[in-house]
Structure 1
Amino acid sequence: MLQSLLALPALIAFDIDSEGRLLVGYDGSGIRQVHEVDVDGNWRALTALGERVLAAKYVPGSRTVIVEHDTGGDERGQLSTLDLTGEGLPELLPLVHDDRYLHHLIAARHGRVLFTTNRRNEVDFDLVALDLGHGLESVLYDGGGFVSTVDASPDDRWVLVTRGGGPANSEQALLIEAATGAVTEVTGFDDQVFIGTVSWLPDSSGVLLSADFDRDRLAVLRYDLGTRALTEVVADGKRDLAGWASPDGEHLLVSANEDGEVALALHRIDGEFVAPIDLPPGGCGAILVESDPRWSADGGHVVLTYSSPIEPQYVIRYSVADQETVTVKAPDAPELPDDLRHPVTDRVPSFDGEEVPVFVFRPADGGDGSAVVLVHGGPEWQSSKIWNPLIAGLVEEGHTVVVPNVRGSSGYGKRWYSLDDRDLRLDSVRDLAAIHAWLPSIGVDQRRAALWGGSYGGYMVLAGLAFQPELWAAGVDIVGIASLVTFLENTSAYRRTVREREYGYLATDREFLTAASPLNRVDAITAPLFVIHGANDPRVPLSEAEQIVAALAERDVPCRLLVYPDEGHGLSKRKNRLDAFPQAFAFLREHLAS
C-alpha cells in the first residue's frame, strides 16, 4: 500500500494565459515537469528534465514560457525559455544561468522578466528586470535583505518588495519607484508584521497586502499611493486571510484559513462579499508555499491548486461569470484508495495553559495502540489539511498519527507564532511532552509513541529524544537540525541572515543556542533513530545528520542514516521516496511493535 500511495501523482497550478490555457507542474514521471493544458483539456509536455521544475510563467502576448529549475535539490534556480509555437517538446534555452547563485522567477511581463538573485554578495537578494528583446538587465532594488515577495505595478512605475530583516518573523514592505530607485517604507520592522500575498490594483493607484499590521490575524489591507495610508479591505478576527486582486479591477479572491482548512470566496474589489467558491470540504483551496492562485489576464478565470487529506494535489479552474469550477486532473491519474479518512481536530492542554491544535488520523479499526507524532518544519509553517502520503501510509500500518501545530506555527495568529522565538525555543519542545501525556485519552499506549519530522520538525524529533528521553520509543529525522550552533555556522549565507532572527544570533546568543541543541544532550538519547538527508541541502547541511549519527553510534544507540546524492532539503524525486520511506516504515514497525 505504501508504494502505491507514494506513487500517486500530484499537480500544481503555475499560470493561466489570456486564452485560458494552463501551465501545470506534474510529477507523473517521478520528477515534477511543466505541462500545458489547453481549454479543451488536451495535455502537452513542455519539459523532460532529470531535475524538478520550480516555477513557470507565460510571457503575455506571446507563446513563450519562462521556466525556473534547479539541480539535485540545490535550490539554485536557473531561468530558461520555451518557445511553444512549434510541435512536440520545445527546446529549453538558457536565459539566466549561473549555478553558483539563486535566481527566482518573480513575474513575466510584456517583453521582460522580473527575477531576484543573490549573485551580488550571496547574502542579499536584488530585484532585476531583464529585457527579453535586447537581453539588457536593470536593477530595480538592491537595498539588501531576504526578499520574499515582489510585485510590480501594472504601469511599471512602482515595485512593492517585502523583505526579512527584523526580529523573529517580522518583515518590511517597501515601495520602490522604478525610475529613480526612491524607497518608501510601507511597514517597518518595529511593527512586527508578517506579510503574505501582494497584488496591485490595475490602475496602479494602490496595492493589496495580506498582513497582520496592527492586529493578530492576517487581513487584506490596501496601501494607497496617493495618501500613503493602509486601510482595511477584508478582515476576520478569528481567521488568517489572503487576497488576490483581479487584473480587471472588478474582483478580489480571498482565502480564509481556519485550523488548517483553507476556503476561498469571491469578493468585489472593495471587499464586498460575492459568493463562496465551491470546493470539496475538508481541504485547502490555496497551497501558498508553492502555488498561489492565478488570475487570467481578463479577470474572467482563476486557476488554483487544491488538496485534502484524502486527495493528492490537483488543479481547479474557476469561472467568474458562471461561478463554476472545472477540475483538471492528469489523464492517467489512478483511482484513490476508498478508505482514506479526514482527521479529527482537537486541542491539547500544554504546560502553561496554552492549547496546542492537533489533527488526529485514526485507522478505521482504531489502530494497534501505537502513535506517530508528525511535526512540521518552519518553524513558522503550519500543518494544513492537505494530502500527505506518509500520513496515509502510517495509518494503513495501524498507527494513530497526531499532527500538531505547536507554538511557533503560523495559521493561528501573531501571538501564537511568536511563542517560540529565540529563548522560548524549548517551550515548543515542551508542547511535545504535553501531547505525549494526552495520548492515553485517544487510546494510545504511551510506551509505543514515536516522533517524525522534517527540517525544523527534524530538530523537534531530536530535541524530543534528547530532552524527553523517557517519553519516546523512536524517532525519524528528515533533514533535521542537530545543533543550532553548527546549523547557523554552516548553512547558506543567505539562510543564516534569516534564521538568526528566529533562533538567536551566534554572536550574542551562543550559550542558549548550545543549551537548546540536541547534539549537546546526546548522552541522554536512548531511543533508536532513523535519519534521511539530501547531500545537496542548502538549508540544513548534511553535516547535521552526520554528526548526530556519529555521536549516537559511539554510544551504541541504534541509528541509521540514508543519504541521497541527488537531493537537497527533502526528497523531491519519487525513486528516492520509494527507497527511503519504506525503510523508515519498517524501522517504526520494529520499534513500535507491541
Structure 2
Amino acid sequence: MRLIHRAARLTALALLLQCAFAPMSSQAASVARSVQKTPKKYSIEQFMATTSISGASFSHDEKNILFSSNESGIFNVYSIPVGGGKPVALTKSTVDSHYAVSYFRHDDRILFTRDKGGDEQNHLFVRELDGTEKDLTPGEKLKAAFAGWSQDGKAFYVQSNERDPKYFDLYRYDAKTYERSLLYKTESSLRPVDVSRDGKWIALDKPNTTADSDIYLYNVASQETKHITPHQGTASYNTATFDPASSKLFFTSNDGGEFTSLRSYDLASGKVSEHEKARWDVMGTDFSHNGRFRVTAINQDGTIVQRIVEGAQEKPLVLPKLQGGEMRGATFSDSGNLLAFYVNGDRSPNNLFVYDLRSKKLNQLTQSLNKEIDANDLVEAEVVRFKSFDGVEIPSIFLKPKGASLTNKVPAVVFVHGGPGGQTRRGYNPLFQYLANKGYAVLGINNRGSSGYGKTFYTADDGKHGREPLWDCVEAKTYLASLGYIDPDRIGIMGGSYGGYMTLAALAFRPEAFKVGIDIFGVSNWVRTLESIPPYWEAQRKALYAEIGDPVKDKEFLIETSPLFHAKHIRKPLMVIQGKNDPRVIKPESDEIVEAVKKNQVPVEYVVFDDEGHGFSKKKNQIEANGKMVEFLDKYLKPGLPAAK
C-alpha cells in the first residue's frame, strides 16, 4: 500500500504506461506533408469543450470504474461500466471541484476529496450507499489526504495536519465505523510515505535538500525508527513501495550515479539490491493488489516509458498496441484480471480504456476530444535541444504550427514550467495546441534545474535563480530565431508559478530579450514568498531555503533576484493572471508587480479569478484565461492582425 501524499518537488511515481509506435518512413512523411490541408482554426471555447478526465478505481465487483471529469464545467466524480456505457455523476457540484479517490473495497461507497475555491485545504469525504456525504476530516484550516487501503480492505489510511499545521500525522480508519486511531505522529521532517501490507512497517522519507534525501523505517510495534540510507555526498533516496510479502522495501536512488535506479532493502538482513537501471531516471515501481504484476516508470527524455512484468520470473506483460499516444495511469483490479489505463498523446487528451487479461478484449470507455476538433489539425510535439551560453545542452518540447515556413514566418513563445525542478513533457496540452492552432510556435523549455536529465543538470540552478536558468531562456530565443521560420522580432515568454517568476525575471533583468511576457501566478518577491509558504511545507522549508535562499540570511541576494525590486526596468507589455485563493504564490505577489510596472507607462493587463487558487480548475475560467492570453499575444506579437476568437 503506497501513500498518496507527496511533498512538492520530490519525485513521485506516476503509474504510466507507454505504447510504442512505428515511425513514419521519410517517404511517407514527405507525401503526407505534400497533401496536408490547411488546418481549421478553432475557438478557445471549442478547445475547452474537450473533457479532462483522471483517476481510476475499480468497484468491489469489478463492474465499474470511478474517475474524475470536468464534463459539467467543473470536476465531479463519475462511475462508468467497464464494458462501456454512459458515465453516471456521483457528485454534482457547481461550485468546488470534486475529485475521485477510491471505491470501498467491499461495497459501492466511494471516497472523494475537495477544497474550497482552490485553497488546497482538502478534506476527505465518503459518499454513502444512499447518496449522502460525510466529511471524514472535519475542522477548519486543515489539509487531509487519503493514504491507501489496508491489505484486507477493512481499513484505510489518512494523513492530516489537524494537530499541527506543519506536520502530517498518519491515521488508520475503520472502513465500517470510520473510527480512527493514530498510527504515526509526525514531529519532524520525516514524512510517512508507505505502510507495509502486514501493517508492521512504515517507510519515512526525509528531504535534506531538494536533491538530497533519506529513508527511515518505523517499526509500528516497537515504535523504533531506523535510518537505512546513510550516504556521503548528494544523493536522493525516495520510497517506492513495500513488496507484497512485506519483506522488502523498494526505493529509487541516484547514489553513485547521475540517474535514479530501482533498488530494494531487505527488512530482515538489511541487504540492498539493485533491480532496474536505465540511462534515464527510474521514477518508481508498484505492485498490483494480488502481487502478480509489478509496474515501473522511467522518465525517458520527456516521455514516460513503462515496464510491466508478471510473476516471480518478471516476464514482460504483452499489451495491445494502441494509436494516439502513450498509456498512463495504470490500475489493476483486485483480482488482477482487468487493467484500466489512459491513453494520452500530443494530439489526444486522456481517454479511459479497460483491458481484460483473460479474453484479451480492449474497451475504450471515453472520447474526450471535442467532436468538432479534427485531431489532424493539431500539432505533434518533438524533443529538441540547443546549446546555451556556456555550452550546456538544453532539452525542450517544441510545437511547430502548421504552415510555418521560410516564406511564412510565425511568432513564438518560450514557455517555462513550474518548480523549480519541474519538467515539460510530451502529452496533450490544450494551451499549447490552442497557441499552435493560432499560428504560434511553442518551445516548452527544460532549463537547467529541470528534473529528468540527471543529478548534475537538476542541481545546476541551485543558488542561481534569476541568472543561469534565465539565461537559458534567453538562449532559447536565439535558438528559435535560428530556425528560419520564426520571426526573431516576435518572440515572447510566458509561464506559471516558477515559470511566472522566470517571465518577470526575463522582462526585468533582460528587458531587451522578449517582446512580451505573460506571468501566470508567478513569484515577484522571493523574500515574501519564502516567508509565506504554507505551514504544511515545513518538511521542505530548509530544502527550499538551501536552493533558492534563506529570507533572513540571504535577504540581499533574494532582493537582487526578485523582479519586484527591479520593476522599473520592465518596459515590455505584461499580462498577469492570478487566483485569489492561491496559498503558494499569494495574491500580493501579483498585485504589487502590476502596480509597479504600470508606473512605467507600460501596457499591463491583470486578470484575477476569485474562485481559483494555484491553477484553474473551472472551464469558464480556463476559457477566459487562455482566451485573454492569446488575445494579448495577438495584440503585441501580431500587430495589424485581428485578435483570435
Q: Is TM (by shorter chain) over 0.5? A: yes
Q: What is the correspondence of 1:187-586 to structure 2 with a 5 Å cutoff?
A: 187=229, 192-194=234-236, 198-268=240-310, 272-275=314-317, 277-278=319-320, 280=322, 283-286=325-328, 292-321=329-358, 325-329=362-366, 334=371, 336-337=373-374, 338-366=376-404, 368-423=409-464, 426-442=467-483, 443-495=485-537, 497=541, 499-586=544-631
The letter for the 2-side match of 1:153 is: S
Distance in 2 (alpha carbons) for counterparts of 1:124 and 1:538: 17
Deviates more, 1:211-220 or 1:276-285: 276-285
Would the alpha carbon gap of residues 281 and 331 (structure 1) be closer, same or farther in structure 2, given more than 3 Å must change?
closer
Residues 233 and 271 of structure 1 are in contact (CA less than 8 Å); yes or no, is this contact kept in structure 2?
no
Give the secondary-structure state (helix, strand or coil) at the position aligned to 1:390.
helix
Q: TM-score, normalised by structure 1?
A: 0.92
Would the alpha carbon gap of residues 427 and 81 (structure 1) be closer, same or farther in structure 2, given more than 3 Å must change?
same
Give the secondary-structure state (helix, strand or coil) at the position aligned to 1:187.
coil
Residues 151 and 161 of structure 1 are in contact (CA less than 8 Å); yes or no, is this contact kept in structure 2?
yes
Q: Which has the higher contact order (CA 8 A, sep 6+)?
A: 2
| Equivalent position of 1:169 in the other structure | 211
- Following superposition, the deviation at residue 529 of structure 1 comes to 0.7
Tell me how many residue pairs correspond in the alignment.
Answer: 584
Would the alpha carbon gap of residues 35 and 297 (structure 1) be closer, same or farther in structure 2, given more than 3 Å must change?
same
Deviations 1:524-571 (A, max 9, x none): 111111011101101110111011001101221211111111100011
Residues 452 and 458 of structure 1 are in contact (CA less than 8 Å); yes or no, is this contact kept in structure 2?
yes
Give the secondary-structure state (helix, strand or coil) at the position aligned to 2:335.
coil
Distance in 1 (alpha carbons) for counterparts of 2:632 and 2:368: 36
| Equivalent position of 2:3 in the other structure | none
Distance in 2 (alpha carbons) for counterparts of 1:378 and 1:301: 36
**1:63 aligned residue (108, 116, 120):** 108
Give the secondary-structure state (helix, strand or coil) at the position aligned to 1:508.
coil
Deviates more, 1:138-147 or 1:526-535: 138-147
| Equivalent position of 1:289 in the other structure | none
Distance in 2 (alpha carbons) for counterparts of 1:461 and 1:357: 19
Give the secondary-structure state (helix, strand or coil) at the position aligned to 1:588.
helix
Residues 11 and 305 of structure 1 are in contact (CA less than 8 Å); yes or no, is this contact kept in structure 2?
no
Distance in 2 (alpha carbons) for counterparts of 1:525 and 1:490: 25
Distance in 1 (alpha carbons) for counterparts of 2:612 and 2:206: 28
Distance in 1 (alpha carbons) for counterparts of 2:282 and 2:102: 27
- Following superposition, the deviation at residue 81 of structure 1 comes to 0.5
| Equivalent position of 1:45 in the other structure | 89
Give the secondary-structure state (helix, strand or coil) at the position aligned to 1:446.
strand
Deviations 1:48-80 (A, max 9, x none): 122112441122123221111111001111111
The letter for the 1-side match of 2:222 is: T
| Equivalent position of 1:157 in the other structure | 200
Deviates more, 1:401-410 or 1:366-375: 366-375
Would the alpha carbon gap of residues 8 and 265 (structure 1) be closer, same or farther in structure 2, given more than 3 Å must change?
same
| Equivalent position of 2:8 in the other structure | none
Deviates more, 1:259-268 or 1:482-491: 259-268
| Equivalent position of 2:22 in the other structure | none
Residues 252 and 271 of structure 1 are in contact (CA less than 8 Å); yes or no, is this contact kept in structure 2?
no
Distance in 1 (alpha carbons) for counterparts of 2:265 and 2:309: 18
The letter for the 2-side match of 1:76 is: Q
Tell me, yes or no, if structure 1 residue 121 matches structure 2 residue 161: no
The letter for the 2-side match of 1:83 is: E
- Following superposition, the deviation at residue 575 of structure 1 comes to 0.8
Would the alpha carbon gap of residues 411 and 353 (structure 1) be closer, same or farther in structure 2, given more than 3 Å must change?
same
The letter for the 2-side match of 1:140 is: L
Residues 211 and 455 of structure 2 are in contact (CA less than 8 Å); yes or no, is this contact kept in structure 1?
no
- Following superposition, the deviation at residue 490 of structure 1 comes to 2.2
| Equivalent position of 1:180 in the other structure | 222
Distance in 2 (alpha carbons) for counterparts of 1:325 and 1:502: 47
Distance in 1 (alpha carbons) for counterparts of 2:285 and 2:245: 17
Deviates more, 1:8-17 or 1:370-379: 8-17
**1:102 aligned residue (139, 143, 154):** 143
The letter for the 1-side match of 2:204 is: V
Distance in 1 (alpha carbons) for counterparts of 2:380 and 2:386: 19
| Equivalent position of 2:67 in the other structure | 24
Give the secondary-structure state (helix, strand or coil) at the position aligned to 1:118.
strand
Give the secondary-structure state (helix, strand or coil) at the position aligned to 2:334.
coil
The letter for the 2-side match of 1:156 is: G
Deviates more, 1:502-511 or 1:461-470: 502-511
| Equivalent position of 2:18 in the other structure | none
Residues 50 and 369 of structure 2 are in contact (CA less than 8 Å); yes or no, is this contact kept in structure 1?
no
Give the secondary-structure state (helix, strand or coil) at the position aligned to 2:486.
coil
Give the secondary-structure state (helix, strand or coil) at the position aligned to 1:507.
coil
Would the alpha carbon gap of residues 478 and 378 (structure 1) be closer, same or farther in structure 2, given more than 3 Å must change?
same
- Following superposition, the deviation at residue 431 of structure 1 comes to 0.4
Would the alpha carbon gap of residues 419 and 327 (structure 1) be closer, same or farther in structure 2, given more than 3 Å must change?
farther
Deviates more, 1:365-374 or 1:265-274: 265-274
Distance in 1 (alpha carbons) for counterparts of 2:305 and 2:291: 22
Distance in 2 (alpha carbons) for counterparts of 1:40 and 1:474: 49
- Following superposition, the deviation at residue 425 of structure 1 comes to 5.4
**2:126 aligned residue (81, 96, 99):** 81
Residues 264 and 276 of structure 1 are in contact (CA less than 8 Å); yes or no, is this contact kept in structure 2?
no
Residues 6 and 390 of structure 1 are in contact (CA less than 8 Å); yes or no, is this contact kept in structure 2?
no
- Following superposition, the deviation at residue 101 of structure 1 comes to 1.0
Residues 66 and 82 of structure 1 are in contact (CA less than 8 Å); yes or no, is this contact kept in structure 2?
yes
Deviations 1:440-494 (A, max 9, x none): 2222222211111001111111111111100101011111000111111223223
The letter for the 1-side match of 2:254 is: D
Residues 515 and 573 of structure 2 are in contact (CA less than 8 Å); yes or no, is this contact kept in structure 1?
yes
Residues 47 and 92 of structure 1 are in contact (CA less than 8 Å); yes or no, is this contact kept in structure 2?
no
Residues 59 and 108 of structure 2 are in contact (CA less than 8 Å); yes or no, is this contact kept in structure 1?
no
| Equivalent position of 2:10 in the other structure | none
**2:184 aligned residue (141, 145, 149):** 141
Residues 32 and 52 of structure 1 are in contact (CA less than 8 Å); yes or no, is this contact kept in structure 2?
yes
Give the secondary-structure state (helix, strand or coil) at the position aligned to 2:467.
helix
Would the alpha carbon gap of residues 94 and 300 (structure 1) be closer, same or farther in structure 2, given more than 3 Å must change?
same
- Following superposition, the deviation at residue 310 of structure 1 comes to 0.5
| Structure 1: stretches of 5+ with no match in the other structure | 287-291
Distance in 2 (alpha carbons) for counterparts of 1:333 and 1:253: 32
Would the alpha carbon gap of residues 335 and 208 (structure 1) be closer, same or farther in structure 2, given more than 3 Å must change?
farther
Give the secondary-structure state (helix, strand or coil) at the position aligned to 1:448.
strand
Residues 246 and 252 of structure 1 are in contact (CA less than 8 Å); yes or no, is this contact kept in structure 2?
yes
The letter for the 1-side match of 2:299 is: N
| Structure 2: stretches of 5+ with no match in the other structure | 1-41, 640-645
Distance in 2 (alpha carbons) for counterparts of 1:131 and 1:309: 43
Deviations 1:281-302 (A, max 9, x none): 784433xxxxx53332223333
| Equivalent position of 2:29 in the other structure | none
Distance in 1 (alpha carbons) for counterparts of 2:574 and 2:462: 27
Q: TM-score, normalised by structure 2?
A: 0.85
The letter for the 2-side match of 1:393 is: Y
Distance in 2 (alpha carbons) for counterparts of 1:349 and 1:51: 44
